Amino acid sequence: MAVVINKVGVIGSGQMGNGIAHVAALAGLDVVLNDVSDDRLKSAMATINGNLSRQVVKKIITDDARKQALNRIATSDTMEGLADCDLVIETAVEKEDVKRKIFHDVCAVLKPEAIVASNTSSISITRLAASTDRPERFIGIHFMNPVPLMELVELIRGIATDDTTFEAAKEFVSRLGKQIAVSEDFPAFIVNRILLPMINEAIYTLYEGVGNVEAIDAAMKLGAHHPMGPLELADFIGLDTCLSIMQVLHEGLADSKYRPCPLLVKYVEAGWLGRKTQRGFYDYRGEKPVPTR
Ligand code: NAD
């Protein structure tokens, strides 16, 4: 059964969720943004407004478009608020048990033909799909960070994903003005399969004392023309997310070359998760980021 996507639910209003809500609303879709508390939703709406306003200043969108986009986003801290969505995208923390519980709860309120997607960076789409009542209407829609700026979205079919779901997801992503890369359902898909081992290696380079934070980032920015250094990028992605992806690669591919660097584990244990907690490989609490090693 073909599905026309007019209303999109986004579960998790963190850095990815607020970005997905932002681009979907700008593309003219109705959005319901969900999170565990009203406080998180308020701060997500403030972030979305701030990011839209920045686009107005840069003349990428008009102020009228900003206002209309904001009006298209409703918030809800219950699953019932998502009941009439045609597509729901889960983008909560990268923990399989949390995601499974979300799918269990949301599928109970959705109409049978609604499509369910995960923005997971690394977890098997086939396995997540199998835990729902609709594996054929389940798909991976993997956005890049920051969502309003990055052109690419990876689409990942699980074994059971049917053609109408895949076509509807393609149409949805195109409507957002994004390009598609189709990836097979293997750990971390394409972008993160390549990117995360590089970041992990940069952390090993720091751990083994080959270079300090500044030297490693400068080396890759100036020596390989990367727009951000790998440690700066790790802070931007979130060190907990980086660690989860390395663990999925390590376990999923059973190859020791993917073992997470102990220093990455230590930063996560300290709660130094990067920009979102103000400290990671850099300390962001002052005017300028200061390396922490
Ligand atoms: P984040 O920590 O910024 O946000 C996660 C949000 O999920 C939080 O607001 C949290 O309150 C909410 N949440 C937790 N449990 C929930 C529940 N049961 N119901 C509803 N909301 C819940 O994380 P993020 O960086 O936005 O990452 C979210 C997902 O997107 C992860 O699966 C991650 O792997 C993936 N992803 C991240 C990036 C990145 O660069 N950060 C890029 C692509 C994909």
Q: How far is CA 70 from CA 52, 54, 87, 120, 213, in A?
A: 9, 14, 19, 25, 39
Find the 107 Cα to ligand 1 centroid distance in Å.
Answer: 19
The model scores a pTM over 0.85? yes
Look at the block and give the residue holding tokens 């979102």.
276
Residues lining ligand 1, Cβ inside 6 A: 11-17, 34-36, 40, 91-94, 98, 102, 119-121, 142-143, 145, 237-238, 241, 276
CATH of domain 191-291: 1.10.1040.50
CA-CA distance, 278 to 293, in Å (whole number)?
Answer: 15
Cβ within 8 Å of residue 145, ≥6 positions away? 15, 16, 19, 236, 237
CA-CA distance, 24 to 10, in Å (whole number)?
Answer: 10
CATH of domain 7-183: 3.40.50.720
Domain spans of the chain, in order of start: 7-183, 191-291
Active site residue: 119, 154, 183, 244, which one?
154
pLDDT score recorded for residue 1 = 63
Tens place of pLDDT per residue across the chain (293 aa): 667 899 999 999 999 999 999 999 999 999 999 999 999 999 999 999 999 999 999 999 999 999 999 999 999 999 999 999 999 999 999 899 999 999 999 999 999 999 999 999 888 999 999 999 999 999 999 999 999 999 999 999 999 999 999 999 999 999 999 999 999 999 999 999 999 999 999 999 999 999 999 999 999 999 999 999 999 999 999 999 999 999 999 999 999 999 999 999 999 999 999 999 999 999 999 999 999 99
